[in-house]
Chains A and B, each alone.
Chain A
Amino acid sequence: MSTPTTHSLRTFPLRDSATMLRRNLKRLLRYPSMTVLLIGMPVVFLLLFVYVFGGTLGAGLGGATPAGTTGGRAAYVNYVAPAIILMTVTAVVQGTAVTIAMDMTEGIIARFRTMHIARVSVLTGHVLGSLIQAVFSLAIVIGVALLVGFRPAAGLGDWLAVAGFLLAVSFALIWLSVALGQVSNSVETASNMPMPLTLLPFISSGFVPTESMPAALRWFADYQPFTPIIETLRGLLMDQPVGNSAWIALAWCAAVALGGYLWSKRLFNRESAR
């Protein structure tokens, strides 16, 4: 029998988070169909919006046409790409919620809870894993967008800003869906929970300019968080002035990340009902 040790009561959040991250990356690799499905959705939307709706929608862009492009489909690819990029993030976080819910329904989380480990590492492992998954998915989706005619005007500095900004957005939405995944009682619910995140980009400036919407809807679209996020992305990618959007978007990210983190932590520390 091992003798009781007192030094063992220290926790190692970084080390435990790294362990949990390795576990989650292994799981992602063992279950690749999930990632493929998640990347598939924004790609399908991209192709749909460019080739099916793109000609007509592009012609109607009018004044909102990004500089240096002529109307029609080619203009629309550039217009819609930021929205599709954001949808990639919302698809990844939907995956996060499902993965978390799967974990919670399995006994292994109960085991972690009875172990003397840094508790938050169970969650941070998921967050880091999803973040890596998001980077990977974003690279693929942006690649496909470039293949179908997306022609960003961004310089190196802009691209770095885009990368940093997307990381911030992903980080915030991932923490939110870590909470959503825990709040769901089943994997099915978990996959539906982040549905608003998938729908919100449609009611923003992502697919059509908000000026074309009815007054009430336009008001909502102008003030919901995804519009400043998309405007920031669009500004950086097309080398246009970003204005206040970046700050508003980052403020939203900070608020969502903090809220998601606190909510997640609280949910994780609550007791199982039975």
Chain B
Amino acid sequence: MPTNPSRSAITVTGLRKSFGDHVVLNGLDLNVARGTVFSLLGANGAGKTTTVKILSTLVSADAGDIRVAGHDVTREPDAVRAAIGVTGQFSAVDNLLTGTENLLLMANLNHLDRRAGRRRAAELLEQFDLTEAAKKPASTYSGGMRRRLDLAMTLVGNPQVIFLDEPTTGLDPRSRRGMWEVVRGLVASGVTIFLTTQYLEEADELADRIAVLDHGRVVAEGTAEELKRRIPGGHVRLRFVDSRGVDEALRVLDQPSRDNDALVLRVPSDGSMRALKTLIDRLDDRAIEVDELSVHTPDLDDVFLALTGNPAHEKVTA
């Protein structure tokens, strides 16, 4: 992996962290290029939130070299804080203040002058579709609105690097998609996003690169496509017209396996044109009639379960 510091928003080498006897992070290495979305994927307890807390200066590392936005988190925490924004999984809004007041609070803490602060607050309320609720206390907001307000507050200071720790956990599907749109918009404006999620679909939708975290280590890293290619699971699903076709096919095809459906067979395949042609030719030669053919590539679920090993213990939602 090329590591050019000037192009990296985040570099982490050999990060370790334990709480008492419990090792949470066991030698983590990460490199996030500027202007990209990087997703840290893992089950509950894999160490995602701890990683975010360390990168955002909330918690110190036991060991490791960590640079965020060009600054060392241990030696220059203030410079890091000035460059980042954090939206955690538990929303950090002031429930007794209204949406506008929450944003103005951030504007004041970012030392914007009064007029610039009001303008920025109004812009963000508009952008996050909160204008109508602007004068209501945050305690009356729905989960999705609260998360949007939370992110809007993070953006008041124009951070270069944004940490989103499970930004859609607990949101309904519509709010989740809304949040994804917002994230895409942010990336388009040039910021770097460090996203943790337990939803594979979310990482697949948003991330340029994905690291799979398991028991405090990165067990795989790459684009969604690269990760999918790394593991077996691609197959062609064939449905035959009758059981005679199934019997015939079982004799002529490579490693076919039965499906729940009596008329269906699965044949391992990488889904390429050449492989498909070979398969179809072979069936044609024997005049086996196929009712339906579909190509299945592995999804991130397959990847995740294959990489993290013990699917029985850690249920992953997708």
Contact = CB atoms under 8 A, between A and B. Distances in A.
A2 B69 CA distance: 12
A31 B86 contact: no
Interface string B77-110: 0110111111010111111110001000100111
| Candidate in A115, A271, A272 with the most chain B CB atoms within 10 angstroms | A115
Given A23-B94, A114-B58, A1 B81 contact: no
B70 A26 contact: no
A116 B78 contact: yes
A147 interface: no
Interface string A59-91: 000000000000000000000000000000000
B127 interface: no
How many of chain B's residues touch chain A, expressed as a range?
A: 35 or more
A9 B69 CA distance: 14
B142 interface: no
A246 B65 CA distance: 55
Contacts of B70: 4
A113 B58 contact: yes
Contacts of B85: 114
A112 B88 CA distance: 12
Contacts of B101: 26
A116 B83 CA distance: 9
B127 to A, nearest CB: 16
Contacts of A15: 108, 111
A106 B92 contact: yes
B78 A9 contact: yes
Given A4-B83, A8-B82, A271-B58, A107 B92 contact: yes
B169 interface: no
A19 interface: yes
Contacts of A9: 78-79, 82
B252 to A, nearest CB: 58
| Candidate in A15, A26, A108, A111 with the most chain B CB atoms within 10 angstroms | A111
B59 interface: yes
Nearest to B35: A1
B143 interface: no
Interface string A96-119: 000000000011101111111100
Contact of B109 (A5, A26, A30, A117): A117
A19 B92 contact: no
| Candidate in A11, A26, A106, A114 with the most chain B CB atoms within 10 angstroms | A114
B137 A30 contact: yes
A272 B105 contact: no
Contact of B96 (A8, A27, A273): A27
A108 B60 CA distance: 20
Nearest to A18: B108
Nearest to A3: B160
B15 interface: no
| Candidate in B82, B153, B154 with the most chain A CB atoms within 10 angstroms | B82
Interface of B: 19, 35, 50, 53, 56-60, 69-70, 78-79, 81-86, 88, 90-97, 101, 105, 108-111, 137, 153-154, 157-158, 160, 189-191
26 contacts: A1-B35, A1-B160, A4-B82, A4-B160, A5-B82, A8-B82, A9-B78, A9-B79, A11-B78, A15-B108, A19-B105, A22-B108, A23-B94, A30-B137, A106-B95, A107-B88, A108-B92, A108-B94, A110-B58, A112-B109, A113-B57, A114-B85, A115-B81, A116-B81, A116-B82, A271-B60
Interface of A: 1-2, 4-5, 8-9, 11-12, 15-16, 19, 22-23, 26-27, 30-31, 106-108, 110-117, 271-274
